[in-house]
Amino acid sequence: MGRVEDAVKATIMRLVRREMRGVVVPLAREVRELRRGISRLRKGVAALERSAARQARQAEVVRSRLAASEAEVKAARLSPTLIYKLRARLGLTQVQMASLVGVSGSAVAQWEAGSSRPEGANRAVLVGLRKLGRRDVKRLLSAKGAGRRAQSASRAKSKRRRRKRR
């Protein structure tokens, strides 16, 4: 009787193992894929955080180069005509000036049209721009452009990676 019991028990155990394997193996694959996905997301977030930190540092450098004292900012007269003349003297487009100040191109257009006025930090940056020449401004723009080119290159690289995975 012991042999029959052992044989039945061994058969049941073998069948149970087979069933377990049938359930566990696909789940293990899915867990591996999910972990890989989490890893990719973490790397993406880390890259974005580095990029944001780099942009913040660049913005801080530009702001510090364009800093003006509070007395200068308060005393400065920034009429629409003066803003336009400043931009023309520096040889900038509205978009380039907006990039330096940290606003949109339409904001510069509104300043020049007189429908709005620069305030706060934007006003201080404009007063700081008045102290710079064309060469200085071009250097600042190229420094900002280098950061943007690096960022767009990293975006293109990640796009290629995503395409490969599909």
| Positions of the chain with pLDDT under 50 | 150-151
pLDDT of the residue at 72? 85
Give pTM, 2 decimals: 0.53
Number of other residues whose CB lies within 10 A of the CB of residue 121 = 15
pLDDT of the residue at 159? 64
pLDDT of the residue at 166? 61
* CA atoms in the 13 A half-sphere facing the CB of 107: 15
- Residue pair 126/86 in contact (Cβ under 8 Å)? The answer is yes
Cα separation of 106 and 113, whole Å?
Answer: 10
Domain positions in the chain: 2-165
At 61-87, the pLDDT tens digits run 666 667 777 888 888 888 999 999 999
At 140-150, the pLDDT tens digits run 888 777 555 54
Cα separation of 130 and 9, whole Å?
Answer: 91
Helix (H) or strand (E) holding 129: helix 121-129
CATH number of the domain located at residue range(s) 2-165 in this protein: 1.10.260.40
* CA atoms in the 13 A half-sphere facing the CB of 149: 6
pLDDT of the residue at 1? 64
pLDDT of the residue at 37? 97
pLDDT of the residue at 38? 97
pLDDT of the residue at 31? 95
